Amino acid sequence: MGKTLIIAEKPSVMTDLSRALAKPLGRFEKVGSGRDIFYENDDAVITSAVGHLVELRMPMGPNGKKLPWKFEVLPAIPENFDLDPIPDSEPRLKQILKLAKRKDIDSIVNACDAGREGELIFRYILDIGDITKPVKRLWMQSMTNNAILEAWDSLRSDAQMRPLADAAKCRSESDWLVGLNATRALTCFNSRHGGFNITAAGRVQTPTLSILATREAEIQAFNPTPYFEVQATFAVAAGHYPGKWIDEAWKKDEANPHSRPERLWEQSAAEAIRARCEGKSGTVTEEKRAQSQIAPQLYDLTTLQREAPFSAKGTLQIAQALYEKHKMITYPRTDSRYLPEDYSANVRDTMQDIANSSLQVAQYAAAVLKGNQDNGPRLSKSRRIFDNKKVSDHFAIIPTGKTSKLSDTEQKVYDLIVKRFIAVFYPAAEFEQTTRLTRIAQPSLTDVFKTEGRVLIKPGWLEVYGRRPGVASGKDELVAVTPNETAHVAHDASAKGNQQAAAIGARTRHLAQQLVHAGHGLVLLARLQKEHHRRFGKGGEEGFSPERPDGSRSQNKNPPWELAYSPLDARRQRLNQPAARKYVVLRRRCLYSYGLQSTSILMHTSTEGSGRVDSVRSTWATIIVAGTI
């Protein structure tokens, strides 16, 4: 009986396989050195690619030379798609083919990544080497030893994998046809008057570019109109909540489509409202309705990339490291948010490993395993979690139960995955959707401030994320008020705080006006507010040190003045450079200028026409917001 050649996609996976398969196949010996390493024992040989080793051949003209960049030779549609080695990795390809053609190798196992691209890498290696030996598939959902051994015990046949192989080749060839012909046609068209203006096009990049270009055209055509809003922060027994002045008599005006109940078109009217309301108290009335929110589903790659605090590429790299290096999560390149219906035993084992660990969420995993609370967490086989029909090549990204020391970035992504894994087995969170009106009675009229949000009643799955009832810590969440409670317009902490805030406000407003006049926009306020809250809380200004009159500055490591001014100043310098105009995310978006005292005026330029301010600080009193639509 001959040996089995096992081909992995990456050298790191090859090493993992040599360790895990030592149990059923015997200990492997390392052969070779440097980049030519492979593993071998009496029953098997394990080698690996380094990603793609083979590519589709570029088109050739009838004279055997490269296809010229002319309309006359398009479209280029070959009768057969020939293959060529990728030059940089050709030595690795030769080594794999040499092993595959050995007389003592009588079967080959595809251990490349369990997906369409992994299948393509393997099939192209066999095709270019004209290898016809029997093939089986090692389909691994994670890189733990148990997962590898389970996959080895249930190798898939070549017939089972043929549809996936055909799909992989179809994708590769269609990308070649569309990308090559479209790129050459557009380049020829754009170069018809001379020069060589390469114009790339492709199946994915061209629609994506179209979305960005359409949005940029909308931004360029945007015509701002000034408006004003009055916002206040109200203090009640349970904490603080924001309110926005509204005109209760407002009606929709077809002649002014940008009109809103909270918008004022004259600054004098906004100033008058502020003068009337500052330092006053109001009565609170509410309308409530019950609302529940079930836990989000398990992560697929796209959802993880959206929610992780990193770029899409960075999140993928981190997830890949958690999968390959640390063996702490299942295969990350998945488009499914479900688990197989026969996977509940694995889920229970993983949940037990988490419950026995030192992770902060261990207690919540233990509660799921106990499942002894009415309407509480329990390990149920819900169709929102287990559904074979919704599992494609891979199931959702979940932890494996293994723990390891992680970097800060890896820990953040892992925390997202493990918390979501536990949270899906918790009940829905229960809220009261609330519309709160705070009325400040005046001798001749009543000013009304509207607040919309929700109050958390039962945390449910949010308990895994540290949420507690009645505490407003999420977006659009409110502190609770008692019936007929009086709300007071919040005042500044101290006169000193106002003076210090004025130093920030004046400089920041000056920069804001310069940027507005230059036609630039910058999203800064929300981030600066949150950073200020994190460092200094909602109280006084401990550690606050603006620039002194003599130009010197406090040696305090990170005074808030730096947080407020320096980012604006640095970006202002960069915005003066022509290259900055290419930066779509920052260009012509929102521009805020803010101060921390009660009389501060916030400047806001918004392409969406909203005068939104994310989290008005509780020590700020009534604030006028000036903006554009």
**Which of the following is catalytic: 227, 331, 343, 592?**
331
Return d(Cα 581, Cα 574) in angstroms, integer.
10
CATH 3.40.50.140 fits 3-178, yes or no: yes
Residues of the chain with pLDDT under 50: 492-629
* Per-residue model confidence as pLDDT tens digits over 101-151: 999 999 999 999 888 999 999 999 999 999 999 999 999 888 888 889 999
Q: What is the dotted CATH code of the domain comprising 301-423? A: 1.10.290.10
Return d(Cα 414, Cα 420) in angstroms, integer.
10
pLDDT (0 to 100) of residue 538: 41
Strand partners of residue 330: 142
597-614 as b/e, with b when 16 or more CB fall inside 10 Å? bbbbbbbbbbbebebebe
CATH code 1.10.290.10 region(s) in the chain: 301-423
Given a contact cutoff of 8 angstroms between Cβ atoms, the answer to whether 97 and 133 are in contact is no
Q: What SS3 class is residue 141?
A: coil
Q: What SS3 class is residue 546?
A: coil
Residue 142 DSSP symbol? B
Phi and psi at residue 431, to the nearest 5°: -125, 165
Return d(Cα 49, Cα 108) in angstroms, integer.
14
CATH code 3.40.50.140 region(s) in the chain: 3-178
Return d(Cα 91, Cα 34) in angstroms, integer.
12
Within a 13 Å sphere around the CA of 614, how many CA atoms are in the beta-carbon half? 16
* Per-residue model confidence as pLDDT tens digits over 414-455: 999 999 999 999 999 999 899 999 999 988 899 999 999 988
Q: Is the N-terminal amide bond of 75 cis, ω within 30° of 0?
A: yes
pLDDT (0 to 100) of residue 623: 35
Within a 13 Å sphere around the CA of 128, how many CA atoms are in the beta-carbon half? 23
Alpha helices, DSSP H, located in 104-248? 116-129, 145-153, 158-190, 205-220
Q: Tell me the two tokens of residue 381.
A: 């086989």
Given a contact cutoff of 8 angstroms between Cβ atoms, the answer to whether 244 and 229 are in contact is yes
Q: Tell me the two tokens of residue 600.
A: 């501060």
Return d(Cα 28, Cα 50) in angstroms, integer.
21
End-to-end CA distance of the chain: 77
* Per-residue model confidence as pLDDT tens digits over 299-356: 999 999 999 999 999 999 999 999 999 999 999 999 999 999 889 999 999 999 999 9
Within a 13 Å sphere around the CA of 209, how many CA atoms are in the beta-carbon half? 8
Q: What SS3 class is residue 410?
A: helix
pLDDT (0 to 100) of residue 491: 57
Nearest to 283 by CA among 491, 487, 490: 487
* Beta-carbon contacts of residue 375 (< 8 Å; ≥ 6 apart): 427
**Is this model's pTM higher than 0.75 or not?**
no
Amino acid at 74: L
Return d(Cα 47, Cα 15) in angstroms, integer.
9
594 is catalytic: no
Given a contact cutoff of 8 angstroms between Cβ atoms, the answer to whether 267 and 626 are in contact is yes
pLDDT (0 to 100) of residue 474: 62
pLDDT (0 to 100) of residue 147: 87
